[in-house]
Amino acid sequence: MINGKIISALVIHLIAFLAIYAEGYPDAFLIVVGSCLALNVIGLCLCLMGIVRFGCSLFIAGCIGFIPLGLVGILGARQALDAERRERFAQMEAARSYRFNPALLDVQIFGTAIVGLVWLILMLVFPFVPAIPLGGAVIGFLIGLWNSSTIPVKCYEDHIELKLSLIAPTHLIKYKNITDIDTSHRKHTIVSYALDGAEKSLKLKWNGLEDKASEELLGYIQGKWVA
C-alpha cells in the first residue's frame, strides 16, 4: 500500500524539520513540527505492518502540520486508502461511467488560467503585489486539469465507485448495502448505506457531473438497489 508520494513526503518533512531545527526556531514550534513528523513515521510503520487505514489516518494528521508541503503526503495516503478499499471489491469492467460537467471544467481551467496570468502581470508591474493569489490560481488550474482527466463515477455490476474530488476518499458502495436513496432535493441526492456495521451517507451533487448523470445514474442505482 506504500506509494512514492508517501515516501517522498516523509523525506520532504524530514528535511523541513532539520531546516527548522538548524534555523533556531522557538522550541514550541519545533515540538509541534517534530510531533507531526513522528505521526508520519508511526503511520508509515503501521502501514508496513498491514494496519493501513489507521496508519494512513495518522500519516495524514502528521502531514497537516507541514501544509503546503504536506499536500503531497495527504494525496499519497489517500491513494493508499483507496487501494486498500478496492481490494475488497472484485475487479471488473465498469458498466457505465460519468465525468465532471464540461462547462464547469472550462470555467475552472480557463478562469484560473486568466486570473493567474493577470496576477502575474500585476506582480511584474507592481513589486509589492503578493504572490499568494498566484499560487491559489495555479492550484485551482491543476485541480481543474485533474478533474478533466479523471472519471469520478464508475458503475460496476455489484457496486459503484465515486471519487468526487482530488483529496476526497474513494467511496466504494455495494448496491446491496444501500439502505435509502433520498431524492427529495433538487440539486443533489443523498445515498445512505451500511459500511463495516456503521450507517454512512453520501451526497451526490448533480450540478458537478455531466448533464446525463442526474437521470441515468440515479435510475441505474435505484434499479440495482431494488434488484
Q: Which tens digits make up the pLDDT trace of 69-88?
A: 888 899 889 888 888 777 76
**What's the pLDDT score for residue 117?**
92
Answer yes or no: is pLDDT of 46 > 80.
Answer: yes
Q: Is the pTM of this model over 0.75?
A: no
Contacts 24+ apart (CB under 8 A), 204-210: 204/162, 205/164, 207/101, 207/104, 208/100, 208/101, 208/104, 208/164, 209/98, 209/99, 209/100, 209/101, 209/152, 209/153, 210/98, 210/99, 210/100, 210/101, 210/102
For residue range 144-164, list pLDDT tens digits in order: 888 888 888 988 888 888 888
Angle ∠(148,149,151) on CA atoms, nearest 5: 95
Q: What's the CATH number for 153-226? A: 2.30.29.30
pLDDT value of position 227: 55
Q: Which three three-digit cell numbers place residue 99?
A: 465525468
Q: Is 9 left (phi over 0), alpha (psi -120 to 50) or beta?
A: alpha
Instruction: Tell me the C-alpha distance between 58 and 41, whole Å.
Output: 9
Assigned C-alpha cell, 53:
487505514
- Please tell me the distance from the alpha carbon of residue 172 to that of residue 39, in angstroms, as a whole number: 27
Cell of 38: 513522528
Enumerate the H helices of the chain as residue ranges. 4-23, 27-48, 52-64, 71-86, 102-125, 132-149, 213-226
**Statement: residue 89 has pLDDT above 70:** no
What pLDDT was estimated at residue 151? 87
Q: Which residue has the higher pLDDT, 227 or 127?
A: 127
Per-domain residue ranges of the chain? 4-86, 101-148, 153-226
| Cell digits of residue 161 | 465507485
Percent of the chain at pLDDT exceeding 90: 21
Q: How many CA atoms lie within 13 Å of 21's alpha carbon, on the beta-carbon side?
A: 11
Going by the DSSP 8-state scheme, the letter that residue 100 receives in this structure is: B
Measured CA to CA, the distance from residue 78 to residue 65 in angstroms comes to 17
